Amino acid sequence: GAGVSQSPSNKVTEKGKDVELRCDPISGHTALYWYRQRLGQGLEFLIYFQGNSAPDKSGLPSDRFSAERTGESVSTLTIQRTQQEDSAVYLCASSRNSFDTQYFGPGTRLTVL
Amino acid sequence: KNQVEQSPQSLIILEGKNCTLQCNYTVSPFSNLRWYKQDTGRGPVSLTIMTFSENTKSNGRYTATLDADTKQSSLHITASQLSDSASYICVVAGASGGSYIPTFGRGTSLIVHP
């Protein structure tokens, strides 16, 4: 079946602009995660959704970052007033439940000029 | 603070040789440990997952070990192939208040030369 998909694959924006990144998880996966990976760095947890529970936002670096997920479907990560340090690959992953293997999407490469 | 440390940071080996990657963690309480392979420009792909009671798990030429007492894990790659060139990431899952937050290591970059 289809894996996790993300769009756009690449996004170039100007400093100060808002961007919205999209993640389509695997159908039936209740858990969804967003991560950030800066060049040459490890993955950095951002936010976690589990079913209809309140999301765990403990990894969001600032109030410019927010994410939404409707039920167990698509999620969007929004970055407002982008800064150059926001440049990174943003990865989305989904899993059947909290403790199952996470399946990653190909990521969105964000470049803030 | 939960941490996952991996070594070496990078490794270069010849095709056909074996290698072992290390992972030390301080995540508590411990739920499970996973090894992922991340090819350049792609998302990570799961290789193995181990819970507290498991000492070793194999997936083809990949064998992972876990010592929950010393909080160490290793990933052994046998008879390496050029396609093994990638970043290998150790991920340890804890559990806090019912929320599952994984802690990622920075990865070991493996290059396999012909």
Indicate yes or no: CB of A43 within 8 angstroms of CB of B44: yes
Q: Which H or E run contains B30?
A: strand B30-38
Indicate yes or no: CB of B102 within 8 angstroms of CB of A41: no
How does strand A31-37 pair with strand A108-112? unpaired
On whether the CB atoms of residues A21 and A9 are closer than 8 A, the answer is no
pLDDT in tens, A32-67: 999 999 987 888 889 999 888 888 888 899 999 999
Lowest mean pLDDT among A64-73, B26-35, B92-101, B105-114: B92-101
> For residue B114, what pLDDT is reported?
94
pLDDT in tens, B13-58: 999 999 999 999 998 888 889 999 999 888 899 999 898 889 999 9
CA atoms within 13 A on the CB side of A11: 27
On whether the CB atoms of residues A15 and A84 are closer than 8 A, the answer is yes
On the question of pLDDT at A78 being above 80, the answer is yes
CB-nearest to B101 from A4, A48, A105 is A48
> For residue A98, what pLDDT is reported?
73
Q: Which residues of A touch B89 (CB under 8 A)?
A: 42-43
On the question of pLDDT at A20 being above 90, the answer is yes
The sign of the dihedral angle between the CA atoms of B37, B43, B49, B55 is positive
Q: Which residues of B touch A58 (CB under 8 A)?
A: 101
Report the residue of chain B nearest A41, measured CA to CA: B106
Calculate mean pLDDT across residues A10-31: 96
- Tell me whether A48 touches chain B (CB under 8 Å): yes
**Where do the DSSP E strands lie in chain A?**
5-7, 10-13, 19-24, 31-37, 43-50, 65-69, 75-79, 88-95, 103-104, 108-112
